[in-house]
Amino acid sequence: MFANFLIGLREGLEAALVVSILVAYLVKTDRRDLLPRIWVGVGIAVAISLGFGALLTFGPRGLTFEAQEAIGGTLSLLAVGFVTWMIFWMANAARGLGAELRGRIDVAAEGGRWSLAVVAMLAVGREGLETALFLWAATQAATRDVAGAVTATWEPLLGAALGLAVAVVLGHLIYRGAIRINLGHFFTWTGAFLILVAGGVLAYGVHDLQEAGILPGLNNLAFDVSGAIPPSSWYGTLLKGVFNFSPATTVLEATAWVLYVVPVGTLFFLDRRRRSRPVPAAPDPSGPVQPVRPVQR
């Protein structure tokens, strides 16, 4: 539940920041009459995201077990790719996001009638589709029991909904200027946590593909700690729900987790460390002032 809350909070805050920038710029430039077009675009983006989530949830039903596992595993790998790109993109683009969106608004305002709606729909819809896909993959992994059956649970969806609700409130407060948070620190720590979550989703996607018969080694276990960490225990449930940890992990799952988390985590922190270094002041192009010597005749 906490992992889904964090996904909803982070992705929702990104979308809320985008909407806040769009609305604030129109208000400050005295173009309030264009605000309804922004909200139309946001509404369309939300509807598309919900429809995409429903398609992911109900679409594979009625297929064979192997087909469902193949689709689930493939979508899990795709979700990991999207969330990895999102983590690095947001960490690098946060500072220039406002200027980029304001430039798009100016161009769209001079264009067709629905250009602003399209800008808002694309800006928010990308976040919504990524959120729907990653939440679906994380929820599928977290709600499977030991036998592989899907157990109906409302906790992951509740966690995501709470995260989105908190993100909307934070976005509104930031727009009003009531609070100021260090977005750099926020995206750094949530990004690091989501790398671990994505590693679990990747491992479970590999497991799905093994059950579908696409990848080998389903019975080749790297470790089995079910005795020490029973899946039905509260801590086993917690590890499963947050990090998608499986007490019985195959060699291929463990290998995929290590090959993802270690290099991606290292690159992420190296990138954040590089960007946190102060930029040295540029030298004065005129150089130091030299004393004027009298001309010898």
Give yes or no for a contact between 76 and 140, defined as CB atoms under 8 angstroms apart. yes
* Cα–Cα distance, 56 to 68 (Å, whole number): 11
The pLDDT tens digits for 41-59 are: 889 988 998 888 888 777 7
* Cα–Cα distance, 135 to 141 (Å, whole number): 10
pLDDT confidence tier of residue 214, bands split at 50, 70 and 90: very high
Full residue range of the structural domain in which residue 206 is found? 2-276
Per-residue confidence (pLDDT) for residue 70, from 0 to 100: 87
Per-residue confidence (pLDDT) for residue 288, from 0 to 100: 54
Per-residue confidence (pLDDT) for residue 162, from 0 to 100: 87
Question: What residues have CB less than 8 Å from 208, skipping those under 6 apart?
Answer: 69, 70, 72, 73, 76
| Residue at 283 is within a domain | no
Give yes or no for a contact between 176 and 168, defined as CB atoms under 8 angstroms apart. no
Per-residue confidence (pLDDT) for residue 287, from 0 to 100: 52
| Residue at 89 is within a domain | yes
Query: Which range, 12-16, 185-189, 251-255, has the best average confidence (pLDDT)?
Result: 251-255
Per-residue confidence (pLDDT) for residue 151, from 0 to 100: 47
* Cα–Cα distance, 64 to 61 (Å, whole number): 8
Average pLDDT over the chain reads 77
pLDDT confidence tier of residue 234, bands split at 50, 70 and 90: confident
The number of domains in the chain is: 1
| Residue at 143 is within a domain | yes
Per-residue confidence (pLDDT) for residue 146, from 0 to 100: 45
Encoded tokens for 40: 């139309």
Using CA atoms in the order 257, 260, 262, 264, what is the torsion angle rounded to 10 degrees?
-150
| Residue at 291 is within a domain | no
Sign of the torsion angle spanned by Cα atoms 34, 123, 96, 91: positive
Per-residue confidence (pLDDT) for residue 206, from 0 to 100: 92
Does pLDDT of 289 surpass 80? Answer: no
Closest-CA residue to 243 (of 138, 99, 105, 94): 138
Helices H / strands E in the chain, number of each: 9, 2
Say if residue 128 is exposed, middle or buried (CB neighbours under 10 Å; 0-12, 13-18, 19+).
Answer: buried
| Residue at 161 is within a domain | yes
∠ CA 103-18-29 to the nearest 5 degrees? 50
Does pLDDT of 294 surpass 70? Answer: no
**Mean pLDDT of the 176-195 span:** 76
Output the CA–CA distances (angstroms, integers) from residue 157 to 135, 170, 262, in the order listed: 8, 20, 29
Per-residue confidence (pLDDT) for residue 297, from 0 to 100: 47
Does pLDDT of 141 surpass 70? Answer: no
| Residue at 136 is within a domain | yes
pLDDT: which is higher, 180 or 68: 68
**Mean pLDDT of the 256-270 span:** 93
| Residue at 228 is within a domain | yes
Per-residue confidence (pLDDT) for residue 187, from 0 to 100: 75
**Mean pLDDT of the 141-170 span:** 68
Per-residue confidence (pLDDT) for residue 267, from 0 to 100: 92
Q: Which residues of 2-13 are buried (b: 16+ CB within 10 A; e: fewer)?
A: ebbbbbbbbbbb
Q: Where are the alpha helices (DSSP H) in 177-288?
A: 183-211, 234-243, 251-276
Closest-CA residue to 150 (of 80, 72, 78): 72
Closest-CA residue to 71 (of 17, 132, 133): 133
The pLDDT tens digits for 65-80 are: 788 888 888 888 888 8
Per-residue confidence (pLDDT) for residue 210, from 0 to 100: 92
| Residue at 157 is within a domain | yes
pLDDT confidence tier of residue 134, bands split at 50, 70 and 90: confident
Percent residues over pLDDT 90 in the chain: 10
